[in-house]
Structure 1
């Protein structure tokens, strides 16, 4: 068995990144075929996820990222159980990457919603560097682990706490993302915000499900700017959600705005149903930051061009679904956790 080396890992991961940015024929086949296993995983969505992962795995960022941690290449290998989510394509890959990059062994329990892509991409990694073949296993049931990283709902997290509370763990719950608008956004910025809302059909925790807007905000310009995203309504599952929520609002006379593919409704909550975007008004940027501070535990990232300070990740318009290596879910530094096991 080859000795683990951070230098070799960086080289191998960056080679994988290049292969994902320019998918070969076998990878394009699996990108096309995923829709037969999960109707949300359209070729466009899967290609977007694969390409974003490829861009993330660039050599410069890998070096900067891993230089922050004291990873002992001679440390005993720990077995880290991973319970992966499956809401959007390859959403669990970053956890796998962290375990491999820390020199540990990943026991991977995939989601039934996203079981094939991650196996295929790890096979590509092994083809690049066969030393990784001994660094991961796919399992149906987790056992004999030294630590756990589990991603699920607020409900499942209670079970994870019960079963895995006695070992070092990271247990993630539901989160959603918010956009803070000032009213001075350009049409291009709002169009890009459409990507934060609609990419992956709004199913990701980094998708914007709520807007904070200044008092008296006029939504006409917002709707005009996102009009080019209207093709989303042709996806049957998205359309079903749109029709369902629209009928409930109409029957119950719930006040809302509707552009034919997205409904916008004033609501204090952050997590909105699919095809619905919640919003709240704010009076000043200071009061908006106070609202965000109160919801820190429920927010994944904040999309804005306003120069605000916050405990959560802030990203530019159109960037929420393009995280960097160091943009950790729930703000928990996975590599720090793994390198200190």
Structure 2
């Protein structure tokens, strides 16, 4: 290497060292490379809503049994929002059609199914046996399975309160009931209405006409007309339409709404409405399914749980009568009053409940007799 080249290399090295020294002296340093941005965290997929289906025995309409169930469905839907997705089929007969509809609901991916009338019990049991991953809820029945629960409302409490009003307002001491299907639930309501009336008026007699249907406005109208022509001046019903109240309105008599507030159908005839609020139970049942605590069994709710009430009592009902109804309601709520407290005598004069004895749910669930004061025979 020539001396000239050596001097050039030494100068370059020296210049580089000097430059580095100057930079360090000025406080400048080489910046580290920026760290790579973290990968975005994927959001967990939103859980699919619980699919729930309801089978209704009548049309939803704007009054009665099915209307009350649908109001309960809407209240539950409002409670849980997008956690649930509901659907319903209305006017499903208590026949082979019920099994077809309920089976179709299960096949469509509904994992909670409500059947809202007594006649769906056997069809639901059949479908439940084939769809073990689906939870079934049956209204007013008594048979259960591992994946089928029963639920009911103590409608007899509303019937008793209606009776207290009817017994106070009748002028003929003759009351009438339009009955649907002669099962213990309905017979119990007829008797409870009579017992409530007799608690304020021992002279009360009750006549019954059966229509053998839950919803048949023409038959209900015919039955109500027959009762009025037979001397009845206050009507009660265990049917689903407003026909009985409307008939009383047209014929100048008094009557009650049933299952929902029916004031608008007969404002002059209307004495009050014995209503069911299904909302509390539907919220409980769906909550159980969502949080994994659902189990089989039987649930029976009344005034105490907010499921039964007497509403829109007519203005001309005396204050003392309204006070009696309020006292009954308060007693039902705190458990200090039971409508079926002995002595209670059957139609044949034999004691069915001893003095001070209170009917338990087993007794109430098996009533197939009329109490004293109810005329006619229980259909077989």
Scaled by the length of structure 2, the TM-score of the pair is 0.28
Structure 1 or 2: larger helix share? 1
Scaled by the length of structure 1, the TM-score of the pair is 0.30
